[in-house]
Amino acid sequence: MPPIKVVVTGASGKMSREVLQALCKDPEVEPAAAVSSHAQEDYLSLPDGSGLIPLSRELEPLLLRVKPDVLVDFTNAQYTMIAARAAVAHGVRPVIGTSGLIPEQIQELEALCDRAGIGGVVAPNFALGAVVMMHLARVAARHFDYAEIIEMHHEAKVDAPSGTAIATARAMAQARGSAFQVAPTLKETAPHPRGSVVEGVPLHSLRLPGLMAHQEIVLGSQGQTLRIRHDTLSRECYMPGVLLAIKAVVGRRGLTVGLERLLGLEEAG
């Protein structure tokens, strides 16, 4: 089988550069083109020094020129939707790791893929350990009435709470069939002391230099607590999940939300 041709958006970003590096190492995929709003040249040198790929500020000309199979996007919610619409219109399957997509945008992506008859993947987190963390949290959620999530990221992360934290809270509530109970705060000595609350789960966000991406789920009941934690130490940890999604999406129809389906965890949960 020929390698899967991939176009990468946001090529000047750290995650996108990591994706290009991973594509260069895997013989089953091929970096075909890149998009960057800061592009000054017509070609981008691949990070492993193996050659050049077309580079543009505009996605549509690249889609027509290189005819990729998959688009990988780790940019921002606004541009992601623009890129996804263009990609699907050309039969290119989107693999999206952008944080901060709202339910209405997910629904639009589902409709786009359904109408085009192609696959797509949207995941709040591509770290396989984080996906397992969320799976374990769903299992534990059935046995606890109280839960809180602490998510910790580097100071440059643009959104809060993180998409992973929100997705985890929603998945936990879905697993138990109802929202969690929230311990009442009788006196608030500063605004929003309990953080954002999603499905009865308070979400606390830390943004500090020295952090990468970390999440801890704390569940409590009488006389005990359960903590489930995942720590991301480098962006390299996301690449096995990204490659898994790229290879899986070409053989699927419709939008897959979350990597748990690709890992066989959804049914097991």
Structure tokens at 117: 């008859």
Which one of 153, 204, 214, 230 is the catalytic residue? 153
Structure tokens at 179: 């929202």
- Nearest of 254, 268, 264 to residue 107 by alpha carbon: 254
Catalytic-residue membership of 153 = yes
Backbone φ and ψ for 227, nearest 5 degrees, come out as: -115, 130
What is the residue whose two structure tokens read 């002391």? 193
Which one of 90, 154, 157, 247 is the catalytic residue? 157
Catalytic-residue membership of 204 = no
Catalytic residue positions, numbered: 153, 157
